[in-house]
């Protein structure tokens, strides 16, 4: 335990002690104790921890709400009825207050779903991607998760899979998900959160993309209010000739951090990440990505678009690591941020750590006001200044959605970004 724990850190320690006796008796329990003690040794990360320099969780999470209990069935049914799937025909997996709810979940051919708390479930491959992690949010979840699912995709999934995290009671929730996409299999996942304003969520996802498998993953991260805390961590590994397309759409919570730790372990694999962020008012959105190449001829890209205004904050940290021997890597990152007005903060911290020579790696980062040349061009055609700026900001954000194939989904996501721009009359 760190010497001077905050109230929040003490509450987490108490929670772990309280839960200890009631662990489900699955093989995953073995990892809980050591993970939590590693978390507790340093506590919540603060600004002197390099990876959390710009998102000081110890300072921002002085107090935590109590852990959410089992979800109320009637409340849950009502919330789900109000929020139909974003993609028509999608199978749905519901994780409410951190717990898998099979009654509201469905599945399809080539996809099997099992509860992580079910002692009969095959969880042998769960936890592999996080075993070496020293990320505090990961460790906290591995120690404390209430429940979740392991999803095995064994062939081509016929329809998109929607994973819905529901938080009903302004509580602390830590759901956990593992998705294993078998070699040659295909799946497309939409992950979304529906929660109450006082929710503090710390989700953990492990995604294994097998050889020649293809996965697309869209994370929609939208807090209800300035008090919501959305912390989400994805660990993913992509094997030979596998491909991952990932998109995070974030319209901000009071505090949100989307972490991605990706490892390309097979030759000729692809991993591409996009993010569109709107951070307006008292919103703080942190996208932190670490992409590691440990194979030949692999490709990765990150494209991030952020718009901030009215004092909002957008943090982008993106590290590309090319391990010794990972020749012919092509890795690129570009982060662009627009200020909608004079206030707010944008931080870009792109990093390259290159230990192989025959590579093409690069990053770029820009921040600033909307390009006045473009505004003038539009105004010279009769478009009023405010409309011109709005049009340009929307286009800037929506470009990050260019790899979303489902047109209705893309439009829906674009709408949510537009709606976020309306917050506090930012534009």
Q: Considering the complex, what minimum distance in angstroms separates the CB of residue 308 from other proteins?
A: 8
Q: Considering the complex, what minimum distance in angstroms separates the CB of residue 279 from other proteins?
A: 12
| Residue 355 engages other proteins in binding (rule: CB under 8 A) | yes
Q: Which of 377, 408, 415, 424 binds other proteins (CB under 8 A)?
A: 377
Alpha-carbon span 363 to 335, nearest angstrom: 8
User: Within 13 Å and on the Cβ side, how many CA atoms surround 161?
Assistant: 28
| Segment contacting other proteins by CB under 8 A, of 79-87, 231-239, 258-266, 356-364 | 356-364
| Residue 425 engages other proteins in binding (rule: CB under 8 A) | no
3-state helix, strand, coil in the chain (%, to 5): 25, 40, 35
| Residue 368 engages other proteins in binding (rule: CB under 8 A) | yes
Q: Which is nearer to other proteins, 209 or 393 (CB)?
A: 393
| Residue 362 engages other proteins in binding (rule: CB under 8 A) | yes
Contact between 267 and 237 under an 8 Å Cβ cutoff? The reply is no
- In 3D space, the residue among 144, 111, 153 whose CA is nearest the CA of residue 37 turns out to be 144
Surface-to-core class of residue 264, CB atoms within 10 Å of its CB (0-12 exposed, 13-18 middle, 19+ buried): buried
| Residue 49 engages other proteins in binding (rule: CB under 8 A) | no
| Residue 378 engages other proteins in binding (rule: CB under 8 A) | yes
Q: Which is nearer to other proteins, 149 or 264 (CB)?
A: 264
Among positions 235-274, residues that touch other proteins (CB under 8 A) are none
Q: Considering the complex, what minimum distance in angstroms separates the CB of residue 2 from other proteins?
A: 18
Q: Which is nearer to other proteins, 80 or 393 (CB)?
A: 393
Among positions 5-34, residues that touch other proteins (CB under 8 A) are none
| Residue 356 engages other proteins in binding (rule: CB under 8 A) | yes
Q: Considering the complex, what minimum distance in angstroms separates the CB of residue 321 from other proteins?
A: 10
Q: Which two tokens stand for residue 411?
A: 């439009």
Torsion angle, alpha carbons of 378, 384, 387, 388, to 10:
20
Residue 199, SS3 per DSSP: coil
Q: Considering the complex, what minimum distance in angstroms separates the CB of residue 100 from other proteins?
A: 39
Alpha-carbon span 20 to 30, nearest angstrom: 11
Q: Which of 222, 264, 359, 409 binds other proteins (CB under 8 A)?
A: 359
Q: Which is nearer to other proteins, 123 or 306 (CB)?
A: 306
Q: Which of 77, 108, 197, 352 binds other proteins (CB under 8 A)?
A: 352
399 DSSP assignment: G
Alpha-carbon span 100 to 164, nearest angstrom: 10
Q: Which of 350, 409, 421, 423 binds other proteins (CB under 8 A)?
A: 350
- Using alpha carbons, list the distances in angstroms from residue 360 to 303, 320, 330, 356, 385: 16, 11, 5, 10, 40
Neighbours of 75 (CB within 10 A): 13
Q: Which is nearer to other proteins, 149 or 326 (CB)?
A: 326
| Residue 407 engages other proteins in binding (rule: CB under 8 A) | no
Neighbours of 399 (CB within 10 A): 13
Alpha-carbon span 45 to 25, nearest angstrom: 30
Alpha-carbon span 371 to 399, nearest angstrom: 16
Alpha-carbon span 351 to 10, nearest angstrom: 34
Q: Which of 74, 81, 120, 380 binds other proteins (CB under 8 A)?
A: 380
Q: Which of 282, 349, 410, 418 binds other proteins (CB under 8 A)?
A: 349
Residues binding other proteins (CB under 8 A): 50, 308-309, 324-325, 327, 337, 339-369, 372-374, 376-385, 387-388, 391-392, 394-396, 398-399
């Amino acid at each position: 335990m760190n010497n001077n724990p905050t109230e929040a850190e003490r509450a987490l320690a108490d929670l772990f002690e309280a839960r200890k006796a009631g662990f489900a008796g699955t093989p995953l329990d073995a990892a809980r104790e050591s993970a939590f003690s590693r978390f507790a040794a340093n506590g919540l990360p603060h600004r002197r921890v390099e990876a959390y320099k710009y998102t000081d969780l110890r300072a921002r999470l002085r107090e935590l709400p109590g852990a959410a209990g089992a979800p109320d069935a009637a409340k849950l049914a009502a919330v789900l009825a109000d929020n139909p799937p974003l993609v028509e025909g999608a199978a749905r997996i519901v994780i409410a207050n951190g717990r898998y709810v099979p009654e509201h979940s469905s599945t399809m051919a080539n996809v099997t779903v099992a509860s992580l708390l079910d002692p009969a479930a095959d969880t042998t491959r769960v936890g592999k991607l996080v075993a070496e992690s020293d990320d505090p949010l990961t460790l906290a979840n591995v120690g404390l998760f209430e429940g979740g699912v392991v999803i095995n995709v064994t062939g081509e999934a016929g329809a998109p899979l929607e994973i819905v995290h529901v938080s009903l009671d302004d509580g602390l929730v830590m759901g956990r998900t593992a998705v294993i996409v078998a070699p040659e299999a295909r799946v497309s996942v939409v992950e979304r959160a529906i929660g109450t304003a006082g929710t503090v969520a710390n989700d953990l996802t492990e995604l294994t993309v097998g050889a020649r498998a293809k996965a697309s993953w869209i994370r929609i991260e939208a807090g209800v209010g300035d008090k919501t805390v959305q912390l989400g961590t994805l660990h993913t590994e992509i094997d030979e000739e596998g491909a991952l397309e990932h998109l995070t759409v974030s319209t901000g919570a009071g505090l949100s951090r989307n972490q991605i730790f990706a490892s390309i372990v097979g030759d000729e694999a692809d991993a591409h990440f996009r993010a569109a962020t709107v951070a307006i008012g008292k919103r703080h959105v942190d996208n932190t990505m670490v992409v590691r190449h440990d194979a030949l001829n692999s490709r990765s890209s990150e494209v991030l678009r952020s718009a901030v205004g009215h004092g909002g904050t957008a943090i982008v940290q993106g590290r590309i690591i090319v391990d010794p021997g990972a020749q012919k890597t092509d890795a690129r990152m570009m982060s662009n941020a627009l200020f909608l007005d004079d206030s707010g903060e944008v931080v870009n911290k792109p990093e390259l750590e290159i230990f192989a020579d025959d590579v093409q790696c690069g990053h770029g980062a820009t921040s600033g006001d909307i390009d006045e040349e473009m505004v003038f061009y539009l105004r010279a055609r009769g478009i009023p200044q405010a409309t011109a700026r709005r049009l340009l900001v929307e286009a800037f954000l929506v470009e990050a959605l260019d790899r979303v194939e489902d047109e209705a989904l893309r439009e829906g996501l674009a709408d949510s970004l537009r709606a976020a721009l309306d917050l506090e009359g930012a534009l």
